[in-house]
Chains A and B, each alone.
Chain A
Amino acid sequence: MFKPEMEYVRKLIEEDSRIDGRKLDEMRKIEIQTGIYPKAEGSALVKLGETLVAVGVKMGVKEPFPDTPDEGILIVNAEFPPIASPEFEPGPPGEETIELARVVDRGIRESGCIDFEKLCIKSGEKVWTVFVDIHVLNNDGDLITASGIGAIAALLNAKIPKYNEETDEIDYSQRTESLPVSKIPVPITVAKINGKLILDPCKEEEEAMDARITITTIEDTICAIQKGHGGYFTEDELKRIVDIAMEKGKEIRELIRSKV
């Protein structure tokens, strides 16, 4: 972004207004569609303002990790393909992509929302692997929040395919049982610009921001935190952000619940 544009974004924030006319603590409109990609075991398309993220869940059968012989495996992966933004380039995932996937992964894993023991087929030998693939289709900022919402929505939407233990084959045409997902972890991202906290930064704001933090919550509990992108937060700011994350998390949780 050119400097004058960045200065303009920052100046607006100083006057408590934003480039897209929102209040500082206002999220963009969220639209969630689930089950729209039938080849996937579960899927979701999330629109957060103009940010668009598709998430698909695929499942396979694998040997469990030796330290958790009775538990299924979760793998979260993200891609920022060049169609989604002039800044994205083809090639192996960059650090931003990897950070996003790992932040979403931690939010889901640490919330305990998936009952991994129910994904065990045969202890020590065969368990279900759940792949959550996040595919960004348009980048207008706050990809972590959109991806986190998409991931949990797709997981809630997912149905386990039929597995034949004798032939070791998966029949993807027969999916009956839902994935054992009980809670809804929701990430909320707050950016700091000119000392002010703003919710759900859009792309221009992300380019002008000083610091960024994502807090994932389930009801009244925090399950993951990631401060990213340079800058700093004070203790008081962090306490305020926890309150914001819990309050907004609740609203979005209701929305997700109504869509799946």
Chain B
Amino acid sequence: MKKGKPERLIIDGKRLDGRDLEEFREMEAKIKVIKSADGSAMFRFGNTIAIAAVYGPRPMFPKHLQNPERAVINLRYNMVPFSTEDRVRPGVSRRSIEISKILKEAIAETVFTEEFPRTVIDIYIEMIQADGTTRCAALNAASLALADAGVPMKDLIAACSAGKVDGHIVLDVNGKEDNYGEVDMPVAMIPRENKVVLLQMDGLLTKEEFEKCLQLAKKGCMQVYKLQKECIKNTYKQIAEGDENV
């Protein structure tokens, strides 16, 4: 038994943070948050905050790492030391290496890398605050930052998590639910093509529960997608209208 586990995580159909089972935490999306970057974005699920910056496509060095046929995507997912209750030791961990790998693979599926041979697209993601579903927030921010950088893509990538908590299938798992609940299942999609480009799960699920989780996550991704598109449209509309303080 894990220490500090609350007796129940869902009481009368409400979660500890007051949400319904299929309700998101407050979501927020913002682009152009880092001036030096070619593209940047912030994405937030409640207290999970990801900031992403894109540099490139730019020439790749050292040269022997270049791919003569396409751009190389380099992605770094990093937890800020003060992002969680227990301080995160700076530097790479096995967890961050794995997450960087799967995020990179998901993004490679949507970017037209063949248009930029011999270059690198650097994507840097900092998790400023972590409260569950961090890799999804990271991916949402990264795909917005890529769009902001003007990198040609098939579509944005939208991601969210579903899971099982106290026997209920829920949307958008927070840190406590991830820690003490049964299942966390992050899902990322290319919404327009209905493609699942990231899928992980740990915990116990029957086939029926898995299908229910997937359905719910899919619905959630569509909501995220809508927010991402609105964010980009609104920001560029403001710029077109001459507002420089976006």
Q: Could you tell me which residues of chain A, from 41 to 90, have a CB within 8 Å of some CB in chain B? A: 66-70
Min C-beta distance of A219 to chain B, whole Å? 10
In the complex, A71→B74 CA distance in Å? 38
* Contact A70:B1 (CB < 8 A) given known A95-B98, A102-B98, A228-B102: yes
Considering only residues 23-57 of chain A, those with a C-beta below 8 Å from chain B are: none
Whether the Cβ atoms of B202 and A223 lie closer than 8 Å is yes
In the complex where A221-B204, A223-B202 touch, is A233 in contact with B196 (Cβ < 8 A)?
Answer: yes
Which chain B positions have C-beta within 8 A of A68? 2-3
A223 surroundings in chain B (CB, below 8 A): 202-205
In the complex, A230 Cα to B110 Cα: how many Å? 10
List chain A residues, Cβ under 8 A from B100: 95
Residues of A within 8 A of B210 (CB): 222, 242
A233 touches B199 (CB 8 A): yes
Bound-state CA distance A214–B203 (Å) is: 14
A231 within 8 A of B: yes
* A75 CB → nearest B CB, Å: 11
Q: B195 within 8 Å of A by Cβ?
A: yes
Interface flag for A164 (CB, 8 Å): no
Tell me how far the C-beta of B239 lies from the nearest C-beta in chain A, rounded to whole angstroms. 33
Whether a CB of chain B sits under 8 angstroms from the CB of A180 is no
CA distance A238 to B204 in the complex (A): 17
B35 at the interface (CB under 8 A from A): no
A222 adjacent to B200 (CB under 8 Å): no
Measured in the bound complex, the distance between the Cα atoms of B214 and A233 in whole Å is 12
What residues of B have a CB within 8 angstroms of the CB of A231 in the complex? 105, 109, 197
Q: How far is the CA of A10 from the CA of B207 in the complex (A)?
A: 30
Task: Provide the bound-state CA to CA distance between A218 and B4, in Å.
Answer: 28
Question: Please, how many residues of chain A have a CB less than 8 angstroms from a CB on the other chain?
Answer: 39
Q: Counting CB contacts under 8 A, is B94 at the interface?
A: yes
A171 touches B (CB below 8 Å) = no
Contact B204 A95 (CB under 8 A): no
For B196, list chain A residues within 8 Å (CB). Answer: 227, 232-235, 238
Q: Which residues of B contact A106 (CB under 8 A)?
A: 202
The size class of the interface chain B forms with chain A is 35 or more
Could you say which residues of chain B place their CB within 8 Å of the CB of A233?
195-196, 199
Chain B residues near A238: list those with CB within 8 A: 196, 199, 214
CA distance A224 to B183 in the complex (A): 9
B121 to chain A, nearest CB (A): 15
Does B158 sit within 8 A of A, measured CB to CB?
no
Q: Is A138 an interface residue (CB 8 A)?
A: no
A95 CB contacts on chain B under 8 angstroms: 97-98, 100-101
Instruction: List which B45-103 residues lie within 8 A (CB) of chain A.
Output: 94-95, 97-98, 100-102
- Asked if A232 and B205 make an inter-chain contact with CB atoms under 8 angstroms apart, the answer reads no
Once the chains bind, are A222 and B97 in contact (CB under 8 Å)? no
The A interface is mostly helix, strand or loop, or mixed, namely mixed
CB contact under 8 A between A232 and B214, given known A99-B101, A222-B206 = no
Task: For A229, list chain B residues within 8 Å (CB).
Answer: 105
A235 lies within 8 A of B194 (CB): yes
Nearest CB in chain B to that of A222: its residue? B205
CB distance from B211 to the nearest CB of A (A): 6
Contacts of B105 in A (CB 8 A): 228-231
Query: Are the CB atoms of A221 and B205 closer together than 8 Å?
Result: yes
List A contacts of B41 (CB < 8 A): none
Indicate whether A101 sits within 8 Å of B94 (C-beta atoms), given known contacts A227-B102, A230-B109, A235-B196: yes
- Contact, CB under 8 Å: A99 / B195: no
Which of chain A's residues 147-192 have a Cβ closer than 8 Å to chain B?
none
Interchain CB contact under 8 A, A220 and B207: yes
With A67-B2, A101-B94, A223-B203 in contact, is A234–B214 under 8 Å at CB? no
Considering the complex, give the chain A residue whose CB is closest to the CB of B102: A228
Residues in B neighbouring A101, C-beta threshold 8 A: 94
Does B108 sit at the interface, judged by CB under 8 A? yes
A230-B108, A232-B196 as given contacts; A112 in contact with B204, CB under 8 Å: yes
**Distance A153 CA – B102 CA, assembled complex (angstroms):** 28
Across the A-B interface, the 4 shortest Cβ-Cβ residue pairs:
A232-B195, A225-B201, A227-B199, A230-B105
9 contacts between A and B (CB under 8 A): A67-B3, A95-B98, A102-B95, A227-B198, A227-B199, A230-B106, A230-B108, A232-B196, A238-B196
New contact pairs (20) apart from A101-B94, A222-B207, CB-CB < 8 Å: A67-B3, A70-B1, A95-B97, A95-B98, A95-B101, A98-B94, A98-B98, A99-B98, A102-B98, A112-B204, A224-B202, A225-B201, A226-B200, A227-B196, A227-B199, A228-B102, A228-B105, A232-B193, A235-B194, A235-B196
